[in-house]
Amino acid sequence: MDMRKSDLLKRNMAQQVLGQAQQAGFNVEDKLNKPQKSLEKYERVFNNNTEFFSTYNPDMIEETLVNYLKKENFEFKVRDDKYKIKYTLRGTDDFENNV
C-alpha cells in the first residue's frame, strides 16, 4: 500500500481535481483505483448487517477504518481476502429503568 500512497501524493492538482470530478464514474481499471482485494457483486442475503456503499477506493476506506479502530483501542479482525472487518462496539443503556 505504500507504493500507492506515494503515487497518490505525486499527483498534481489538475490530476486531483480531475479524479474528484470523475469519482462518480469510478474506474476500477485505473492503476490508483484498482482494489487490492477481490470484489464480488453485492447480494443481500441477511438484513442484519451493518454495511454501506461508496464509489471511493475500498483500500482507502478500509485503511481509514482500521486506523480509527486502532486509535480508539478496539479489538478487530480484518479479512485478508475481502473487505470485511469484524469488531464489537459495546454501549451502555442511558435510560433509567424504574420498573
pTM, rounded to two decimals: 0.56
72-97 pLDDT per residue, tens: 999 999 999 989 999 988 777 776 66
Q: Say how far apart CA 86 and CA 77 lie, in whole Å.
A: 5
The domain segmentation of the chain, as residue ranges, is 2-87
Residue 42 pLDDT > 80: no
Q: pLDDT band at 11, cuts 50/70/90?
A: low
Q: pLDDT band at 98, cuts 50/70/90?
A: low
Residue 30 pLDDT > 90: no
Q: Convert 71-93 to b/e letters by CB count within 10 Å (16 or more is b).
A: eeeeeeeeeeeebeeeeeeeeee
Q: Average pLDDT, whole number, for the chain?
A: 76
